[in-house]
Amino acid sequence: MKIDVLTLFEQMYQNFLEESIIKRAIESKKIEVNLHNIRDYSLDKHKKVDDYPYGGGAGMVLMCEPIFRAIDDLKKENTKVIMMSPRGKVFNQKKAVELSLNEHLIILCGHYEGFDERISTIVDEEISIGDYILTGGELASMVVMDAIIRLVPDVISDDSKTFESFNDNLLDYPNYTYPREFRGLKVPEVLLSGHHENIDKYRNEMRYKITQEKRPDLLERTDNDE
């Protein structure tokens, strides 16, 4: 998978791309991530990329031309273009799985007061990570990229994905490790039994119980829900 990120703040991604699973996925060439500064596509001698909104109002708006030029330059036949936007559909695990199947993504990160509306005509999808406002799309794009990259084949083991939270609209089962007892809190006996059928049954029951207690809204969703 190849991901091209259009941003005004490339340095924000430095630690994100150089740590843990993301770093290993890049080094093993499971994924390719390229950062592109939107200013590099400006024809203005001062590399200007924003201007005041027509009709007045607060803030600055990102201009059409540099972003159109950037996407024209990077887009291929198999590319999906995503705009990080508070008006987009809220990102979830189902969308992460869907996006992880793409060969090439362009992720467009806004800043300031937002995008010139005409930019929406050249993107395939607008995505939000929640009903709140950030200073820009960079942090949101990292959330989306992290969720997608870990789903790319061989980035993490398939076993790690089997019973994750939100699979089948259920949260994950509880996990325990050494010691068996800590401050009077004990590991459930079934997990120490070595009886795999009983362990699987316990874990499935706990997935439903925890979801019912903490996120009952998930149990009301259908496969068609976003």
Do the Cβ atoms of 219 and 166 come closer than 8 Å? no
Whole-number pLDDT of residue 225? 58
Question: In sequence order, which residues have a C-beta less than 8 Å from that of residue 103 and are 6 or more positions away?
Answer: 1, 2, 78
- Amino acid 110: pLDDT: 87
The three-state secondary structure class of 226 is: coil
**Assessment of whether the complete model's pTM goes beyond 0.75:** yes
Q: In the chain, what are the domain boundaries?
A: 2-157, 163-219
Contact criterion met (CB below 8 Å) for 153 and 160:
no
Q: Would you state the pLDDT for residue 124?
A: 98
Token pair recorded at residue 15: 């630690």
**pLDDT profile of the chain (226 residues), mean per 10:** 97 96 96 98 94 89 96 97 95 95 96 89 97 93 97 82 67 94 96 96 95 93 58
Quote the pLDDT of residue 57.
84
CATH architecture assignment, domain 2-157:
3-Layer(aba) Sandwich (3.40)
Counting Cβ atoms within 10 Å, is residue 205 exposed (0-12), middle (13-18) or buried (19+)? exposed
Phi (first) and psi of residue 30, to 5 degrees: -75, -30
163-219 classified as CATH 3.40.50.1370: no
